[in-house]
């Protein structure tokens, strides 16, 4: 197996979701630190334009978005499982709901002092504003109290989920639901106003400590230029799943664009490859990395004819 290479930055909450997954599975991986704000020339060279954090690299294959990254880790290393109860639908459903807190936290932070943490300086906020050009962030202070109440409601549900004494959200073993619920709420501790939301909760603080204790696996650092050379020297992996039918008339080999349904992620254009029902994959030529394949989850991404 090609070594696991994670392109990320340490303060990224979504990267923390994947790092904890690597810890849960006790995997060795290489860490490539990417810029917090654009431009990100080495990352977008590999991904064809996708800019979000994190991205997982396996040789000449790039996996964009935590949903497909964690599915890939589960495929490569099935045990311990991200689905300890075996109930995938419940796990994905709880995971997706728990991550609704992320934008609530972001909205709250825009309503607070933008200099409250050294990692989130003016350049960070200006970059993130460009990712949502239709949002009027000047209104954020006015809705801050409402955002805090929304967060408190989500936290109450999570706290009651743990009230029967279970160690993790769905069982006594950690899984994807815990990683997905942890990473948005870990940011609450970055500011005293949001940290106060955790104080009255009976179960969440101890649960957060148990999730943190999963660690990050065996991490070693790698320069981004080396990661590009690794991609150039590798060959994209063959498709191992039964190709899904494409009712929209597209066929493998078509020139397509992958469009994120959220703004600011970056559009990727390439040659459509056969994939399973949960995945979109496109082949593209990189000037520095050669022939690469970029993978996306079906959730939240559209593939259309170029």
Query: Got the DSSP string for 32-71?
Result: EE--SSS--HHHHHHHSS---S-EEEETTEEEESHHHHHH
Tell me the C-alpha distance between 177 and 91, whole Å.
6
Q: Give strand pairing partners of 268.
A: 258
Residue 293 belongs to a domain: no
Provide the mean pLDDT of the chain: 92
Q: Is residue 83 part of a domain?
A: no
pLDDT (mean) for 150-161: 98
- With contact defined as beta carbons under 8 Å apart, do 170 and 87 qualify? yes
Q: How many folded domains does the chain comprise?
A: 1
- Is residue 16, in this structure, part of any structural domain at all? no
- The verdict on residue 107 lying in a domain is yes
Note whether residue 233 is domain-resident.
no
Q: Which residue has the tokens 């825009």?
A: 110
Q: Provide the residue range defining the domain that includes 171.
A: 88-207
Q: Is residue 183 part of a domain?
A: yes
For the question of whether the overall pTM of this predicted structure is more than 0.85, the answer is yes
- In the predicted structure, residue 121 carries a pLDDT above the cut 70: no
Residue 1 in this model has a pLDDT that exceeds 80: no
Greatest mean pLDDT among 106-115, 121-130, 154-163 lies in: 154-163
Mean pLDDT of 111-136: 64
Please check whether residue 5 lies inside any domain of the structure.
no
CATH of the domain at 116: 1.20.1050.10
Q: Is 266 within a domain? A: no
Q: CA distances (Å), 180 to each of 95, 170, 183, 212, 299, in order? A: 5, 12, 6, 13, 15
Residue 305: asked if its preceding bond is cis (omega within 30°), the reply is: no
Residue with tokens 């990189």: 286
């Amino acid at each position: 197996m090609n070594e696991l290479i994670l392109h990320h930055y340490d303060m990224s909450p979504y990267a923390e979701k994947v790092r904890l997954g690597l810890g849960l599975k006790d995997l060795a991986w290489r860490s490539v630190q990417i810029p917090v704000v654009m431009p990100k020339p080495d990352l977008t060279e590999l991904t064809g334009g996708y800019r979000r954090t994190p991205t997982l690299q396996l040789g000449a294959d790039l996996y964009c978005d935590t949903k497909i990254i964690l599915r890939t880790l589960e495929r490569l290393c099935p045990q311990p499982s991200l689905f300890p109860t075996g109930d995938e639908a419940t796990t994905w459903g709880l995971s997706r709901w728990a991550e609704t807190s992320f934008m609530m936290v972001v909205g709250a932070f825009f309503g607070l002092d933008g200099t409250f943490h050294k990692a989130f300086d003016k350049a960070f906020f200006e970059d993130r504003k460009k990712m949502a050009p239709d949002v009027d962030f000047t209104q954020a202070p006015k809705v801050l109290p409402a955002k805090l109440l929304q967060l408190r409601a989500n936290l109450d549900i999570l706290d009651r989920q743990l009230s029967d004494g279970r160690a993790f959200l769905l069982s006594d073993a950690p899984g994807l639901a815990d990683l997905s619920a942890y990473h948005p709420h870990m940011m609450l501790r970055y500011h005293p106003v949001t940290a106060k939301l955790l104080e009255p909760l009976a179960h969440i603080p101890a649960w957060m400590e148990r999730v943190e204790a999963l660690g990050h696996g065996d991490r070693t650092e790698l320069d981004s230029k080396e990661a590009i050379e690794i991609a150039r020297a590798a060959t994209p992996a063959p498709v191992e799943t039964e190709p899904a039918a494409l009712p929209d008339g597209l066929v493998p080999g078509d020139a397509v664009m992958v469009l994120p349904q959220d703004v600011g992620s970056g559009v990727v254009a390439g040659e459509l490859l056969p994939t399973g029902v949960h995945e979109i994959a496109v082949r593209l030529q990189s000037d520095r990395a050669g022939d690469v394949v970029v993978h996306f989850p079906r959730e939240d991404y559209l593939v259309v004819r170029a």
